[in-house]
Structure 1
Amino acid sequence: MMILVTGASAGLGLATADALARDGQQVVLHARRPDRLTDRAVAERMHALLFGDLAAPSAVLDVARQANDLGRFDAVIHNAGVIDGPVTAVNVIAPYLLMASLAPPARSIVLSSGMHRSGSSDLDRAFAGRGDYSTSKLLVTTLAMWLADNTDTLSHAVDPGWVPTRMGGRGAPDSLEDGHRTQEWLATADAGSIDPVTGGYWYHRQARAPHPAATDPAFQVRLVERLAEVTGVELRR
C-alpha cells in the first residue's frame, strides 16, 4: 500500500511513518523542510519525501501536486498539526486542501484530540484568525465525518491521547506507541475488520462518540462551504 503521512519529521507522525515502512508499506513522508528530518536511516526507509509548509495554502497545493505525481494513495494520514500559532491554517485548512487536491485516496485518517470536545462551533471566530487548538480539532473531526458521509473515501478521526512528544511534553501520561497504532491499523487493516467501516472517531482502536457538532450534517455543510469560500477550492463529492 502507498500511504502519505503529513507532519512526519518527529513525534507521532515520524513514529507512524517509520512503523508503516518497517511493516513493508510504501510510505511517503511529508515534512515542513528537509532539515526537520534528521534521522537519515528513517528517510532511507521511505518510498518518497515531500516538503512544504502547510501553514501556506500555496505550499499545500504544491505538496498535493508532488503527491499526485506519485500516483493514487491507498491512505492519507493527516497528522500535521500545531498547538498554537496558525492553528486553523495547519490543522483545518491544510487537510481540507489536501483532500480537495489529491486524487481521492481509498482511506483518509485525521488526527483529532480529546480536546476537540471543548472546541467552539463559531466558524466566524475560527476563520478570523482567533481560532484555538481545541476548535481546530473539532473542525477537522467534523471534516472527517463529512468526508465519510459524502464520498467513497473511508474516513476516520483518531484521538491519539496525550503522548510524550514535543507538542505533548515529556510528562504526558499516555503511551507514544499506543498513540500511533490506531491510525496504522485504520490505514492498512481489512476494511471488514473495522467497525464502523467509515465515520469512526477512535481512541486506542476503540470507537467513541465525538462532539455532537462533528456529526451534525448541517454543521458539516456549513464548515465545508466556509472552507471552499476561504480557499477558493471546492471539495467535490
Structure 2
Amino acid sequence: MSRIFITGSTDGLGLMAARLLLQQGHRVVLHARNEARADDARTTLPGAEAIVTGDLASLDAMCDVAEQTNELGRFDAVIHNAAVGYREPRRIETVDGLPLVFAVNVLAPYVLTASIDTPARLVYLSSGMHRGASAGLDDVQWVARPWNGAEAYAQSKFMDVLLAFAVARYWPDVLSNALEPGWVPTKMGGSSAPDDLNKAHRTQAWLASSDDEAARVSGRYFFHMRERACDSAARDRAMQDRLIDVCERLSGVPLRR
C-alpha cells in the first residue's frame, strides 16, 4: 500500500480522494489551511495518519508545509489538489504581493514540488478551462492588464499542466501527471455544474496509487482515468522551462533540474 499526501484535503475533491484512498488501505496525510479545518478533518476522517497545516497563500507557509511534510518521512505520492476558484471578483493580493489565484494554484505546488522529499509519483489537478488559455508568463502578477478572474484561473490551470510536464522531463524516475476532474458541483464548481461528482476524485487517487499499467506513465494528461489530449501548447518545452524560471524567481526556491 502507498503513503500519500494530499494538499487541500479537508473538503471537496481532496477530501473525497483521501476517503477513497483510505478505504483502499493506503496511508494518507491530509493538509488543512488552519487548525479549525484540521480539527474538522480529524472528526471527518479519523483514519488519516496525520494532518499538516498551513495557508498556501503565503510563501512562508508553503515552505513550512513542506517542512512539516518532510518531518513525517518520505511519501510514495503527492497530490497537488489545493486551489482557488475562478470567481475572484478582483485581484486579491497575498502578503507576498502576488495574486491569490497564482499563489495557491501555481506557486504553492511549485514550491512544494521543489521542497518536499521527492516521491515516486506527483499528481497535479488542472481543469478543462486550461484549453485555449495563454500562459500569461509575461504578467503572472496581473499588473499590466485589467483583472479577469476566469482568465486568471484558466491560466493558472494551464501552468499546472506546464509544471507537471516540466517535472516529468526533469525527473525521469518520477511519474508526474496532470488531470482534469470535470466541472462538478463542489463549493468551487457551483451547484449547477453538470459533470459527475462521483467520478471527479477517482483519477487523482488512481494516478497516485494504482499498479495499472495505464497509471504508471509520466508526462500525460487524464480525465476520468483515461488519457486525454491537453492543450498542445502545454507541450512547449521552452514555455515549461520559462514557467519554472518565473516560479523560482518569485519564490526564491530552486527546482532540481
Output the TM-score relative to the length of structure 1: 0.95
Compute the displacement of 1:44 (Å). Answer: 1.2
- What SS does the corresponding residue of 1:30 show, helix, strand or coil? strand
Name the SS for the 1:121 alignment partner. coil
| Structure 2 runs not aligned, ≥5 long | 93-99
- Indicate the larger mover: 32-41 or 20-29: 32-41
Structure 2 counterpart of 1:158:
179
| Counterpart-to-counterpart distance in 2, 1:164 and 1:122 | 28
- How far apart are residue 206 of structure 1 and its match? 1.4
- Separation in structure 1 between the aligned mates of residue 112 and residue 207 of structure 2, nearest angstrom: 19
SS of 1:118 mapped into structure 2: coil
Q: How many residues align structurally?
A: 236
Partners in 2 of 1:229 and 1:137 — Cα distance?
20
Is residue 118–residue 135 contact of structure 1 (8 Å, CA) maintained in 2?
Answer: no
Separation of aligned partners in 2, 1:230 and 1:40:
34
> Residue 222 of structure 1 corresponds to which residue in structure 2?
242
The aligned residue for residue 96 of structure 2 is: none
Instruction: Please give the alpha-carbon distance, in whole angstroms, between the structure 2 residues aligned to 1:90 and 1:39.
Output: 20
Deviation at 1:39, TM superposition (A): 4.9
What is the CA-CA distance between 1:191 and the residue it aligns to?
Answer: 5.7
**RMSD of the TM alignment (CA)?**
1.5
Structure 2 CA distance for partners of 1:150 and 1:39, relative to 1, 3 Å:
closer
- Cα distance in 1, alignment partners of residues 80 and 42 from structure 2: 23
**1:154–1:199 contact (8 Å) kept in structure 2:** yes
Inter-CA distance 58–11: structure 2 relative to 1 (3 Å threshold): same
Render the CA deviation track for 1:8-35: whole Å, top value 9, x for unaligned: 1111011011111121111000010122
Determine which structure has the larger helix proportion and give its number.
1
1:72 aligns with 2:74: yes
1:27-38, aligned counterparts within 5 Å?
A: 27-37=28-38, 38=40
The percentage of counterpart residues that share the same residue type is: 48
Letter of the aligned partner of 1:88 in structure 2? F
Kindly provide the amino acid, as one letter, of the partner of residue 72 in structure 1. R
Work out the CA distance in 2 between the residues paired with 1:209 and 1:100.
26
Contact 1:43 1:49 in 2 (8 A): no
Residue 89 (structure 1) aligns with: 103
Unaligned runs of 5+ in 1: none
